[in-house]
Amino acid sequence: MPQVLPGWMHTYSGKVRDLYLPEPESPVAARHGDVVLVVASDRISAFDYVLPTLIPDKGRVLSQLTLWWFDQLDDLVGHHLVTADAGPEGVPDAVAGRAMVCRRLEMFPVECVARGYLTGSGLAEYRQTGQVCGIALPDGLTDGSRLPEAIFTPATKAPLGEHDENVSYDAIAATVGADDAARLRDLTLMAYSRAEQLTRERGIILADTKLEFGRALDGSHRGEVLLGDEIFTPDSSRFWPADTWAPGGAQPSFDKQYVRDWLTSPASGWDRGSETSPPPLPDDVVQRTRERYLEAFRRLTGADLPV
């Protein structure tokens, strides 16, 4: 259940995040206008299920890493952050460190995916067709192969509990219009290129990532296309250690792939093809997953997670 936060009205919960609108008379509304409070929980999802086990500190990692990335990309693309400071005109103390007050955006119904390496759903599609989202790729690629250049492989946003579907660029242009589709593609690839360079300098490969964009509804950014949600976190990206990268199979990772691997192993006792929900995670899987999130934060930012 989402927390009760004085001055805020809970309006929606996704797999990981809870959204709140300010109460009409709150100082946040008076100060910042049309905003939403985005709270990152410690929930974790896999295979379109929200698991029954929490990962301690995960919400703080997602929020703090997103804030760090907003700073790294500030000269390339705007974002929805208004403030992450705690106080009467900002984030409630009870969720400080894992929440952001953000501009409300009219979100594009598109998952903007950039891939620099072949794996996951992109690999599955390539093996069937030699393409990913209508983009032809060279023969002979395997799991973990680096692509000749990063590609934009969008997906449709699925309702909670359903799976996003990879689609062609033309399908996105038909949905949002040619100009906005081109803008989303260009911003996604520019952001990925910057992030891929920064992660590589820190010994991490950014294999692929998912971004979300929306159009600002009011204020000085009205009409502008801005980054929303989270960016370049272990939930939205595949991070691989650069020193162990070896195409031809699954790569070690700093993301939630460790949880996916456990769920599909005999140890979990769970049949992914069944209609039953995944089981709770054992303590050792929780701890190792937490360590991966914290290590990703340390490697990328060069600092420990703020207390």
For the chain, give the percent of residues with pLDDT over 70: 98
| 111-127 pLDDT, tens digit each | 999 999 999 999 999 99
Q: Which domains does the chain have, with CATH numbers?
A: 8-103 (3.30.200.20), 107-255 (3.30.470.20)
CA 113 to chain centre: 10
**Overall average pLDDT of the 57-71 stretch:** 98
Secondary element (H or E) of residue 156? strand 155-156
Helices (H) and strands (E) in the chain, counts: 7, 17
Q: How many angstroms separate the CA atoms of 204 and 196, rounded?
A: 9
**Letter for the amino acid at 146?**
R
- 8-12, 27-31, 99-103, 236-240: which has the minimum mean pLDDT? 27-31
Q: What is the pLDDT of residue 201?
A: 97
pLDDT at residue 13 greater than cutoff 90:
yes
| 232-254 pLDDT, tens digit each | 999 999 999 999 999 999 999 98
| 164-177 pLDDT, tens digit each | 789 999 999 999 99
CB contact at 8 A, 301 and 68: yes
pLDDT at residue 39 greater than cutoff 80:
yes
Q: What is the pLDDT of residue 160?
A: 54
Q: What is the pLDDT of residue 257?
A: 84
- 3-state SS assignment for residue 207: strand
pTM comes to 0.94
Q: Smallest Cα–Cα separation from 103: which of 181, 22, 43?
A: 22
| 153-166 pLDDT, tens digit each | 999 976 655 667 89
Beta partners for residue 22, in sequence order: 8
Which two structure tokens, joined as six digits, stand for 248? 């031809």
Listing DSSP states for 74-132 in one string gives TTT--B-EEE--BSTTSB-GGGTTSEEEEE-EEE-SEEEEEEEE--HHHHHHHHHHSEE
Say which residues have a Cβ less than 8 Å from residue 208's Cβ, sequence separation at least 6: 113, 114, 115, 116, 117, 119, 120, 122, 237, 238
| Residue recorded with tokens 């490969």 | 205
| 201-242 pLDDT, tens digit each | 999 999 999 999 999 987 777 889 999 999 999 999 999 999
C-alpha torsion angle, residues 276, 238, 69, 106 (rounded to 10): -50
Q: For residue 279, report the phi and psi dihedrals to the nearest 5 degrees.
A: -80, 165
